[in-house]
Structure 1
Amino acid sequence: MKIGKVLNLEVRDSRTGIVHEYYCKIIEKNKNYLMIDYPIHAQTKKTAFFPIGTLLSASFIGNDQAVYQFSSEIAARIKMNIPALAIHIPDQTDIKRIQRREYVRIETTVDVAVHSTDNQFPPFVTVTSDISGGGLALITDKNIELGIGLKADLWLSLQMQNAEYYYIYGQAEVVYIRDVNSRVNLLSLKFISISKQDRQRIVRFCFEKQREARQKELI
């Protein structure tokens, strides 16, 4: 866990039992503690103030694009260049990998601009049916004729839970076409060229959507 790494936190409200989600960054570390900036609530965007001893579950995306999770607690409030909190560093054996390297696909709508890499079709704008770090499925009009093997340049707009927007570029190849109804097809594409940073952002986006769905199930 390097300085600058984003942590997603889950903290249970002791009064209501509801689990709230926050995010923060690691701003310093030593042998025993991670120093984090004050967490921001994922929905309200308000800064959270936790008492010392608050238990939390933290997760982050590793260099291998898998998601890792550990439990910790707030050990102290400290003064640095900005107000910060110290949390206990877990033993390596207590950090659990909770997502396999294979990319998890989630059903969600993301705006996508599609351009032909080889000028085989006119550019168009559509939305996803699902997405993962390995590819996506697009909803397309029947009038747009795309064949298996065609390559496309894709621009996606991802909104994270912390209200950040990322604009992702990737080159993809059509691998499957499904006839949905008389009006639309569903095109499955796999990424054949995408930066590691952009792929990690998609993985993080999918992870956040999973957590959001689990949170709704608990309400």
Structure 2
Amino acid sequence: MLHEFLKLELYPNLAVKKSFPAQVQEVKEQSFLILGPFDRGTLLFLYPEQEVLIEYVEEGCRYQFATRIIRRLQKPFFGYELLLPTPESIHRIQLRRFVRHKKVLDVCYALLNNNGELNWKKAKSVDLSSGGMKIATSELLPVNSLLKLQFYVELKGKIIEFLLDGEIKRVEKIPSGIYHYGIEFKNITRQEQDTLFAYVFQEMQKSRRTMADGK
């Protein structure tokens, strides 16, 4: 359900799949107030009775509903008042758990061997999902190799360390002499997957807002 400070994506034209960021500021009995939506820092013009589509994500699922604009707001913030949807009009859409996002992170990796010794080396991530990651390194590694991976992410202002097992599923040689390795996480816990999913979604939202602001 809608709640204060929930981040939304608003689609002003139901025929065009282009959204603009907004945020719930207050939920009333029959309506709700939003800050935004903004297009490159400017409040998007919407008119009373205009039908719009709203999407938001909660607990790994995307929710979608259509509603109408009631009025434009200028105080205490720039935004709009919209009709509150009925519970049955909100549609739940399951998200792909392993959606990938291009993200450069510092990664340490070590080949797993029988003697248990770890020879740590440095790499960079190319993309990341809750099910695996792609890393870039100059070292040639065999497909199906097992690795120990260490990296850090910042989620909601908190630094979180990951120490995961992975298996190389594919390799691609880049013209510069660098190898890209597609790695599947092994024995990852549900909590670790959920944390990575939340981080990937956070970074995707940042990228979308940066594009919307024209930065």
**Is 1:60–1:69's contact at 8 Å kept on the other side of the alignment?**
yes
SS across alignment from 2:102:
coil
For residue 10 of structure 2, what is the amino acid of its counterpart?
A: L
Aligned to 2:179: 184
Post-superposition offset of 1:177: 3.7
Alpha-carbon shift at residue 29 of structure 1 (Å): 0.4
200-209 vs 67-76, greater mean Cα deviation: 200-209
CA 1:202–1:90: 2 relative to 1, 3 Å: same
Equivalent residue for 2:108, pick from 115, 120, 123: 115
Task: Tell me the CA shift for residue 8 of structure 1.
Answer: 0.8
**What is the match of residue 82 of structure 2?**
87
1:3 aligned onto 2:17: no
Structure 1: where are the runs of 5+ without partners?
159-164, 211-219
Question: Structure 2: which amino acid aligns with 1:76?
Answer: R
TM-score calculated relative to the size of structure 1: 0.69
Q: Residue 105 of structure 1 corresponds to which residue in structure 2? A: 99
**1:141 has 2:138 as partner:** yes
Q: State how far apart, in whole Å, the 2-side matches of 1:146 and 1:113 are.
A: 22
Structure index of larger Rg: 2
Q: What pairs with 1:197-212 in structure 2 (closer than 5 Å)?
A: 199-205=197-203
Aligned length: 196
What CA distance in whole angstroms lies between the structure 1 residues aligned with 2:75 and 2:197? 33
SS in 2 for 1:111: coil
How far apart, CA to CA, are the structure 2 residues paired with 1:85 and 1:207?
A: 21
User: 2:212 maps to what in 1?
Assistant: none
Q: 1:110 touches 1:156 (CA, 8 Å); kept in 2?
A: no
Q: Which moved more, 1:2-11 or 1:148-157?
A: 148-157
Matches of 1:78 and 1:3 in 2, distance apart?
Answer: 17
Q: Give RMSD over aligned pairs.
A: 3.8
Per-residue displacement from partner, 1:164-210 (whole Å, max 9, x unpaired)?
A: x9987533321334233485251314255648565323135458989
> What is the identity percentage for the equivalent residue pairs of Structure 1 and Structure 2?
14
Q: Give the equivalent residue in structure 2 for 1:27.
A: 25
TM-score (norm 2): 0.70
